[in-house]
Chain A
Amino acid sequence: EAGVTQFPSHSVIEKGQTVTLRCDPISGHDNLYWYRRVMGKEIKFLLHFVKESKQDESGMPNNRFLAERTGGTYSTLKVQPAELEDSGVYFCASSQDLNTEAFFGQGTRLTVV
């Protein structure tokens, strides 16, 4: 069974550009989460989807970040325009139910220069 897949694995963009990260959850997992770890800091929750609905987006840093999950399958996280402080590793995770284990993708390392 395929795990959570994230694309790309690494992205280097210039400040002011737009980047879109993609996450394909495990098939059948209704719950999808985005997290971020900026250098030297903890992994922080960004938001949680249940199917296509945003259940909790309290962790989104600002309106330059837009997450979508059309059709309740894969999700995208767009950063527009990117700033230097957006650099970090973006993790996606999915779980079947709210109280079952969440499985993580390998992360996308975003570098804004």
Chain B
Amino acid sequence: AQRVTQPEKLLSVFKGAPVELKCNYSYSGSPELFWYVQYSRQRLQLLLRHISRESIKGFTADLNKGETSFHLKKPFAQEEDSAMYYCALLSGGYQKVTFGTGTKLQVIP
């Protein structure tokens, strides 16, 4: 069965410091991974997906199949990055998404 693990419930960093939100997964097939973000009082929204290999709002995430990880990184945190971040795994062809428990990122001014 597929599983997504986000070990940190809360991550606090100072503005301008680097950020790394950890995500590990277990899945026997070829995974498709995403990061979703939910800002305060807003909807859950897609931040980035690994197949796009893009940088959104300065965030990047690299799929490491050897370590089964998909950590989210940003070199310099901004206050507006404060939010809940969910790592998610798409298994199969029907968008049955498995989410992690989420990490709350708090950027301290």
Contacts and interface: CB of A to CB of B under 8 A. Distances in A.
Given A104-B44, A104-B45, A106-B43, A95 B102 contact: no
Contacts of B46: 101-102
Nearest to B3: A42
Interface in B42-76: 42-46
Contacts of B99: 35, 42-44
Contacts of B101: 40-42
Contacts, number: 52
A49 to B, nearest CB: 11
Interface residues of A, number: 27
B95 A42 contact: no
Contact of A56 (B86, B94, B100): B94
A41 B46 CA distance: 20
A98 interface: yes
B65 to A, nearest CB: 20
20 contacts: A4-B43, A33-B95, A35-B99, A40-B101, A41-B101, A42-B98, A43-B86, A45-B97, A58-B96, A59-B96, A98-B93, A98-B94, A98-B95, A99-B93, A102-B46, A103-B45, A104-B43, A104-B45, A105-B43, A106-B43
Interface of A: 3-4, 31, 33, 35, 40-45, 48, 55-56, 58-59, 91, 95, 98-99, 101-107
Given A42-B101, A45-B98, A48-B95, 6 more contacts: A4-B43, A45-B96, A48-B94, A58-B96, A102-B97, A106-B42
